[in-house]
Amino acid sequence: MNLILLGPPGAGKGTQAKRLEDVYGIVQLSTGDMLRAEVDSGSELGKQAKGIMEAGDLVPDALIIDMISGRIDLDDCKQGFILDGFPRTVPQADALGSMLTDKGLQIDHVIAIEADSEAVVARVTGRYTCSECGSGYHDEFQKPVKDGICDKCGSSDFTRRADDNAETVRNRLSAYEEQTAPIIAYYGEKGILKTVDGMADIDVVTAKLKEVIG
Ligand code: ADP
Ligand code: ADP
Ligand code: ZN
């Protein structure tokens, strides 16, 4: 089963994708995570993406499309995948459609997680991640059970993203409204779009997603 999770920064795409991985035995493909790994490794792609990401703008479509196409070909995607943060423009959505047709694959559900702007700013600015296992947390909304210790792996090493500050988030939200929101209508017209209220508690959102996916 192949899914697309849509929604503004901070809607909960990554949080929910990690949970759906376990439920359905499929793999999360986060273009943001993949790009951050490229930046950390100092690759050519990482060098091109770094400044763009720090400003909260979108990385050029052609770079993203090549990156995701290669990723979908890897063995761990055989049972299915969850696209998190891709597609983000109508040209990316078009490219995904033809890419999947060429690979003999298709998207089963496109789910838009809806959340309002003020809430997502608070979510993004309080977000942090376990450096060891990638588990996501929030200063207020999703604290580890034991302060300073990752629930999943026990690490006490956490990181915050360079672009998770109030100013950059505003720009990321504009990029979302202008360039990404139109793909909600795009998938609506194809008849495969579902929406879920992302303002509910994390567990409630997971339950709704499972209901929608069936
Ligand atoms: P996205 O991948 O869409 O940018 P994340 O899943 O990283 O969003 O969530 C952003 C932040 O908000 C994280 O710190 C996460 O713990 C928190 N969060 C996610 N979903 C909810 C929710 N339903 N209610 C409150 N906080 C949430
Ligand atoms: P969030 O979880 O807050 O929605 P992401 O981790 O998905 O943010 O993306 C972080 C940054 O990486 C974006 O602001 C953008 O610069 C870049 N990026 C990620 N995915 C894409 C994409 N599909 N197209 C263009 N740029 C992307
Ligand atoms: Zn951890």
By alpha-carbon position, which residue is closest to atom 10 of ligand 1? 10
10: Cβ below 6 Å to ligand 1? yes
- Measure the CA–CA gap between 31 and 49, rounded to whole angstroms: 12
What's phi and psi for 129, nearest 5 deg? -135, 145
Count Cβ neighbours within 10 Å for each residue of 139-151 and write b for 16 or more, e otherwise. eeebebeeeeebe
Band (104; pLDDT cuts 50, 70, 90): very high
pLDDT average, residue stretch 175-200: 96
Ligand nearest, relative to CA of residue 198: 1
8: Cβ below 6 Å to ligand 2? no
Ligand 2 center–CA 30 separation, angstroms: 8
Residue 127 bears catalytic tag: yes
Residue 204 pLDDT: 98
Ligand 3 center–CA 129 separation, angstroms: 8
Distances (CA, A) of 72 to 1, 15, 75, 131, 139: 13, 21, 8, 24, 33
Computed over every residue of the chain, the mean pLDDT equals 97
Residue-wise pLDDT for 41-97, tens only, equals 999 999 999 999 999 999 999 999 999 999 999 999 999 999 999 999 999 999 999
Ligand nearest, relative to CA of residue 202: 1
What residues have CB less than 8 Å from 33, skipping those under 6 apart? Answer: 14, 134
* Contact assessment for residue 59 and residue 88, using Cβ atoms and an 8 Å cutoff: no
Residue-wise pLDDT for 6-33, tens only, equals 999 999 999 999 999 999 999 999 999 9
173: Cβ below 6 Å to ligand 2? no
What's phi and psi for 39, nearest 5 deg? -65, -45
